[in-house]
């Protein structure tokens, strides 16, 4: 699934991947910022809980957004591919200022939404200015290439990651979540070794990347974002490494940015937070 075309980058809505476990009660900074981007209290937000197997996940986010002050927050109960054919769901997305995809299992998202009118509506509306946020599995699902699973560890290995097609809002990134908490550096490096075209974004919990139209990324939240840039990669042993063997990668650049930090994606420039 490729990103939907837009007349220019300036027309696109934000893409907002969140690393999971975002603060919801005491200081919901990320969710507050998402609502501000969507237009504030009058915003219309569609909540897609497909990734979760818990029946109350969507309703909990609906209550949370309303508690924050959003007047129009609605759960779209999309469980099956048949649900994705429901014209009422696509119509609500088309009237929305933002879509929020919950956590759970990203394969439930890709196998349920992939190729359906709901997925097409999200891509089309994001290209036209609607903002899309996703936490945990919802974050992993956003790009064209999705990390579907893998194992922990800091050193890349050929069998460390499973990749699958994602939603296709962008082909500039591969995203991993719960990054520091679950020791996922190795699997993100492995994914990038398979596809050095993309940037890697590793999101700590309670941390989000607010990716502006024009591909300028800003960090919001209490943790850090690890950005891996393989642009200048000069050597990779991925093509001959066997299962379980360590992969050699030379001249890969890594940045860690915290709240207020920015990354200019086109120029590959990291900008630190203000002191």
- DSSP result, 169-183: S-SSEEEE-STTTTT
For the structural domain made of 9-271, what CATH number should be given?
3.40.50.880
Any catalytic annotation for residue 205?
A: yes
Confidence (pLDDT) at 62: 97
Confidence (pLDDT) at 3: 46
Confidence (pLDDT) at 8: 56
Q: Of residues 131, 205, 218, 236, which has the active-site annotation?
A: 205
Whole-angstrom distance, CA of residue 7 vs CA of residue 48 = 27
Residues of the chain with pLDDT under 50: 1-7
Confidence (pLDDT) at 214: 80
Segments making up each domain of the chain, as ranges: 9-271
Q: Of residues 89, 131, 145, 178, which has the active-site annotation?
A: 178
Any catalytic annotation for residue 267?
A: no
3-state secondary structure of 106: helix
Residue carrying the six token digits 């203000």: 274
| Residues forming beta bridges with residue 48, ordered by sequence position | 101
Whole-angstrom distance, CA of residue 73 vs CA of residue 46 = 6
Whole-angstrom distance, CA of residue 115 vs CA of residue 227 = 29
Q: What are phi and psi of 113, to 5 degrees?
A: -90, -25
Any catalytic annotation for residue 89?
A: no
Asked if residues 97 and 44 have their Cβ atoms less than 8 Å apart, the reply is: yes
Q: Of residues 136, 144, 145, 218, which has the active-site annotation?
A: 136
Q: What is the per-residue pLDDT across 218-237, written as a single tens digit (0 to 9) for each?
A: 999 999 999 999 999 999 99
Angle subtended at Cα 60 by Cα 69 and Cα 135, rounded to the nearest 5 degrees: 90
Confidence (pLDDT) at 218: 98
Confidence (pLDDT) at 161: 98
Confidence (pLDDT) at 1: 41
Confidence (pLDDT) at 72: 96
Q: What is the per-residue pLDDT across 33-78, written as a single tens digit (0 to 9) for each?
A: 999 999 999 999 999 999 999 999 999 999 999 999 999 999 999 9
């Amino acid at each position: 699934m490729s990103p939907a075309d837009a007349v220019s980058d300036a027309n696109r809505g934000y893409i907002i991947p969140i690393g999971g476990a975002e603060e919801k009660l005491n200081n919901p900074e990320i969710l507050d910022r998402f609502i501000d981007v969507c237009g504030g209290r009058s915003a219309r937000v569609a909540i897609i809980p497909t990734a979760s197997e818990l029946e109350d996940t969507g309703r909990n986010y609906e209550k949370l957004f309303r508690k924050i002050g959003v007047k129009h927050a609605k759960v779209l109960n999309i469980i099956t591919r048949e649900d994705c054919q429901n014209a009422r769901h696509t119509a609500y997305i088309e009237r929305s200022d933002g879509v929020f995809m919950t956590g759970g299992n990203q394969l439930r998202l890709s196998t349920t939404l992939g190729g359906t009118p709901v997925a097409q509506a999200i891509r089309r509306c994001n290209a036209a200015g609607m903002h899309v946020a996703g936490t945990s599995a919802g974050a992993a699902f956003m790009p064209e290439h999705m990390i579907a699973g893998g194992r922990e560890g800091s050193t890349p290995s050929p069998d460390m990651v499973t990749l699958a097609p994602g939603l296709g809002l962008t082909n500039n990134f591969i995203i991993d979540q719960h990054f520091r908490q679950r020791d996922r550096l190795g699997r993100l490096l492995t994914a990038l070794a398979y596809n050095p075209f993309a940037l890697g974004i590793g999101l700590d919990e309670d941390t989000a990347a607010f990716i502006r139209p024009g591909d300028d990324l800003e960090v919001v939240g209490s943790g850090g974002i690890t950005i891996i840039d393989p642009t200048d990669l000069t050597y990779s042993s991925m093509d001959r490494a066997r299962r379980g063997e360590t992969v050699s990668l030379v001249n890969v650049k890594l940045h860690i940015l915290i709240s207020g930090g920015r990354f200019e994606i086109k120029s590959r420039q990291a900008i630190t937070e203000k002191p």
